Amino acid sequence: MPEQKVFSFDWALWFLWIMATTLGWLVTNFLAVGVSYFAAGFAISLLQSFVLQGRINHTIRWVIAGTIGWAIGWLVILFAVPNGLELIDGLVVGLAMGIAGWIVLRRQVHWAGWWIMLSIVGWTTGLALLPGFLSTGATAGALTGIALVFLLGNPKKLTSQET
């Protein structure tokens, strides 16, 4: 009878993910508002990619996808969402970042589609329900970090063509 794998929550990964997301969010809050909308995606994704190093292949794809996803999300918000609807802002950014992350994760982990849902929950909670200088990034990082720990605990076996 094959030995069953026991899941163990990676607290270090979760903590580092929260720190990367929070620091990326904080750094961009010091920039001019228009710049920070777009720089945040790059800063957050870049810092997250350091955490992902050795855990997924081609972390540069995480940076590119996250930067593009964040920019698309904020462009939609700037042109289509009236001011003061933070709940919608969180849904849009979470969806855009979720799809961007899913594109990178789908070939590397089982159940990568859950990343989209948890990104929506994380960013909606951070931007709308618990907004703040520190709390937005920390909340989004904590909630998406939980998803990441579980997803990375279920990797797919990659073929030589996918590496």
Mean residue pLDDT of the chain comes to 92
| Residue 161 pLDDT class (50, 70, 90 cuts) | low
Q: Rounded CA gap, 158 and 133, in Å?
A: 40
> Under a CB-based contact definition with an 8 Å cutoff, are residues 95 and 116 in contact?
yes
Q: What is the pLDDT of residues 17-26, one digit of tens each?
A: 999 999 999 9
Which value, to the nearest 10 degrees, does the dihedral of the CA atoms of residues 13, 6, 144, 99 take? Answer: 120
**6-65: per-residue pLDDT in tens?**
779 999 999 999 999 999 999 888 876 667 777 899 999 999 999 999 999 999 999 999
User: What pLDDT sits at residue 37?
Assistant: 73
Radius of gyration of the chain measured on its C-alpha atoms: 16
| pLDDT number for residue 143 | 98
pLDDT digits (tens, 9 = 90+) for 90-104: 999 999 999 999 999
Count CB-CB contacts under 10 A for residue 12: 10
CB hemisphere CA count around 44 (13 angstroms): 31
